[in-house]
């Protein structure tokens, strides 16, 4: 069966998370290399913060889904997971 050309397929949430995490790891490796200019470092840092926030949100959404699957009667107002430090 052929896909419709009018509607582009969006990546699955897990694939999107994996792509963002991979890009973040590559950015970190380039920044740790120390070969970037100041402007490149700042742009990479800004991009990395955006990727980090995206990954964090994806993890929070996944946790909420797991909670709902484990206890479907629980209200869907679950609070985000905060790890103990």
* Domain layout of the chain by residue ranges: 13-70
Tens-place pLDDT, residues 13-66 = 778 999 999 999 999 999 999 999 999 999 999 999 999 999 999 999 999 999
- pLDDT of 79 reads 61
Alpha-carbon span 15 to 21, nearest angstrom: 10
Residue range 60-81: mean pLDDT, rounded: 79
Q: How far is CA 50 from CA 1, 20, 43, 56, in A?
A: 37, 9, 11, 10
Q: Which carries the bigger pLDDT value, residue 72 or residue 54?
A: 54
* CATH code, residues 13-70: 1.10.287
- pLDDT of 63 reads 93
């Amino acid at each position: 069966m052929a896909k419709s050309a009018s509607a582009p397929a969006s990546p699955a949430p897990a694939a999107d998370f994996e792509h963002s995490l991979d890009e973040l790891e590559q950015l970190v490796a380039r920044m740790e290399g120390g070969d970037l200019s100041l402007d490149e470092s700042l742009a990479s840092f800004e991009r990395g913060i955006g990727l980090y926030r995206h990954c964090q949100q994806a993890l929070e959404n996944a946790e909420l889904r797991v909670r709902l699957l484990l206890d479907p009667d629980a209200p869907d107002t679950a609070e985000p997971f905060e790890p103990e430090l």
